[in-house]
């Protein structure tokens, strides 16, 4: 039985009536850009993230770009981040004219190492972008302590609704950062039926600026305080996302249950390291990512047997050709480089049946002769 890496049709089948009704409301209103449904979603995401403000935008990449512009990151500035992430995290640093500074990751969680971020700080450092990778938060309070006074943009594209216990209190992804950013790309735990993104903040001034920046830099139509972007969330996406949001907690819980099932089954297999979740974190498992001996062979073995899988990410960003101008050499971020050679993500989506989970496990076991 083939098992896809992700099956969006299986999820759609469970919510079709709610989502189609929400979409038809927008179609009938013929009001497609921003408007009351986007504002409703902004209120809902702010509430979920324990933030005062949420501002919708066109996608998670723009959310980062707008956040950097709102914090005045630009020419002559450095922005510290992790090389083990999706390209957008660093591409946006480059695109605001700043210099990405890559520091290594914690090999257990794949998230940025706070002490490495602290060591990379210079007089030109303007911000740090920790990424909440694969569904678990980076140690945001440690990053903030390691970089006192520095604005933090938390790239929570993969991690909406994840939380971390800090001093005995649950803190949500996006809550503590200067600006937190989300993506509603369809493969995310809360995915739209197209592109979408959101920025969250506790700061009224930043919220107002982010709102201006997503509309060509003007608070009032045809008057522009600064040059911004066209990066609006459309009402159809907001309607879909608001219809899906009440299901998010249950979907993420099912992903955690799937992860626990895999990790138990893989525990005894030499050659596999199951994901490590920091005990302070509750992950939403946007990905279930193992480290595997003979990873490339395992990948083709699974592929040949119809088991979906993917390598997130095969080449760390500090070694990408487009960043050759920065001068990083192999060995500069050894843990990110090792992870790139060992990781493999397996199907984890909430609609997986027990039979499908067992099918994945059986083939992984077979590869290691168990
Ligand atoms: C870590 C990370 N940052 C940023 C993005 C960019 O989001 P989007 O694809 O919505 O532009 C993504 C998602 O694809 C991501 O995984």
| Global pTM exceeds 0.95 | yes
Q: What is the pLDDT tens value at each position of the chain, 370 positions in all? A: 999 999 999 999 999 999 999 999 999 999 999 999 999 999 999 999 999 999 999 999 999 999 999 999 999 999 999 999 999 999 999 999 999 999 999 999 999 999 999 999 999 999 999 999 999 999 999 999 999 999 999 999 999 999 999 999 999 999 999 999 999 999 999 999 999 999 999 999 999 999 999 999 998 989 999 999 999 999 999 999 999 999 999 999 999 999 999 999 999 899 999 999 999 999 999 999 999 999 999 999 999 999 999 999 999 999 999 999 999 999 999 999 999 999 999 999 999 999 999 999 999 999 999 8
Asked whether 212 and 49 are in contact (CB, 8 A), the reply is no
Q: What are phi and psi of 95, to 5 degrees?
A: -70, -15
Taking each helix axis from N to C end, the angle separating 295-304 and 354-367, rounded to the nearest 10 degrees, works out to 130
Distance (Å) from CA 291 to ligand 1 centroid? 22
**pLDDT in the model for residue 237:** 98
- With the most atoms of ligand 1 within 8 angstroms of its CB, the residue from 65, 131, 185 to mutate is 185
Asked whether 144 and 119 are in contact (CB, 8 A), the reply is no
Q: Classify residue 183 by burial, with Cβ atoms within 10 Å: 0-12, 13-18, 19+.
A: buried
**pLDDT in the model for residue 370:** 81
Atom of ligand 1 nearest to the CA of 185: 10
As a whole number of Å, the CA-based R_g of the chain is 20
Distance (Å) from CA 183 to ligand 1 centroid? 6
Asked whether 289 and 343 are in contact (CB, 8 A), the reply is yes
> Taking Cα atoms as reference points, which of 184, 118, 108, 183 lies closest to residue 152?
118
Asked whether 51 and 174 are in contact (CB, 8 A), the reply is yes
**pLDDT in the model for residue 74:** 97
Distance (Å) from CA 88 to ligand 1 centroid? 6
Q: 10 Å Cβ neighbour count for 368?
A: 17
Tell me which residue has its CA closest to atom 8 in ligand 1. Answer: 60
- With the most atoms of ligand 1 within 8 angstroms of its CB, the residue from 130, 153, 157 to mutate is 157
Q: Maximum distance among all alpha carbons in the chain?
A: 67
- With the most atoms of ligand 1 within 8 angstroms of its CB, the residue from 57, 61, 64, 154 to mutate is 61
Asked whether 214 and 66 are in contact (CB, 8 A), the reply is yes
Count the residues in the chain. Answer: 370
Q: What are phi and psi of 102, to 5 degrees?
A: -95, 135
Distance (Å) from CA 89 to ligand 1 centroid? 7
**pLDDT in the model for residue 187:** 98
Distances 305 to 298, 308, 367 between C-alpha atoms, Å: 11, 9, 11
Name the strands in the sheet holding 281-282, side by side, starting at the edge strand that comes first in the sequence: 169-172, 163-166, 281-282
Asked whether 66 and 231 are in contact (CB, 8 A), the reply is yes
Ligand 1 binding residues, C-beta < 6 A: 59-61, 85-86, 88-89, 131, 155, 157-158, 183, 185, 195, 197
> Taking Cα atoms as reference points, which of 175, 167, 101 lies closest to residue 138?
175
């Amino acid at each position: 039985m083939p098992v896809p890496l992700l099956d969006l049709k299986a999820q759609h089948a469970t919510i079709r009536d709610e989502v189609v009704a929400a979409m038809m409301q927008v179609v009938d209103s013929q009001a497609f850009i921003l408007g009351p449904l986007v504002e409703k979603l902004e209120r809902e995401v702010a509430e979920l993230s324990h933030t005062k403000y949420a501002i919708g935008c066109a996608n998670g990449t723009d959310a980062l770009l707008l956040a950097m512009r709102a914090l005045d990151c630009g020419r002559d500035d450095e922005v510290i981040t992790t090389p083990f992430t999706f390209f957008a995290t660093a591409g946006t640093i480059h695109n605001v004219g700043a210099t990405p500074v890559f520091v290594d990751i914690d090999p257990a969680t794949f998230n940025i190492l706070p002490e490495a971020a602290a060591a990379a700080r210079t007089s030109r450092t303007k911000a740090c972008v920790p990424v909440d990778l694969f569904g678990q938060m980076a140690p945001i309070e440690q990053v903030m302590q390691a970089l006192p006074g520095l604005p933090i943009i938390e790239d929570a594209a993969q991690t909406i609704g994840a939380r971390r216990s800090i001093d005995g209190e649950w803190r949500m992804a996006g809550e503590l950062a200067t600006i937190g950013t989300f993506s509603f790309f369809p493969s995310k735990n809360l995915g739209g039926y197209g592109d979408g993104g959101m920025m969250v903040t506790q700061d009224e001034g930043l919220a107002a600026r982010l709102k201006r920046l997503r509309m060509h830099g003007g608070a009032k139509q045809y008057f522009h305080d600064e040059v911004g972007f066209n990066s609006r969330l459309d009402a159809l996406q907001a309607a879909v996302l608001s219809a899906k949001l009440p299901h998010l907690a249950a979907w993420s819980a099912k992903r955690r249950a799937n992860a626990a099932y895999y990790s138990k089954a893989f525990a005894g297999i030499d050659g596999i390291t199951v994901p490590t979740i920091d005990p302070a974190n509750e992950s939403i498992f946007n990905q279930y990512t193992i480290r595997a001996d003979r990873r490339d062979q395992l990948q083709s073995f699974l592929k040949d047997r119809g088991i979906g899988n993917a390598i997130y990410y095969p080449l760390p960003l500090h070694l990408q050709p487009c960043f050759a101008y920065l001068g990083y050499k192999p060995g500069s971020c050894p843990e990110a480089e090792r992870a790139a050679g060992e990781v493999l993500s397996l199907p984890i989506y909430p609609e997986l049946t027990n039979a499908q989970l067992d099918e994945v496990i059986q083939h992984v076991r077979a590869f290691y002769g168990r």
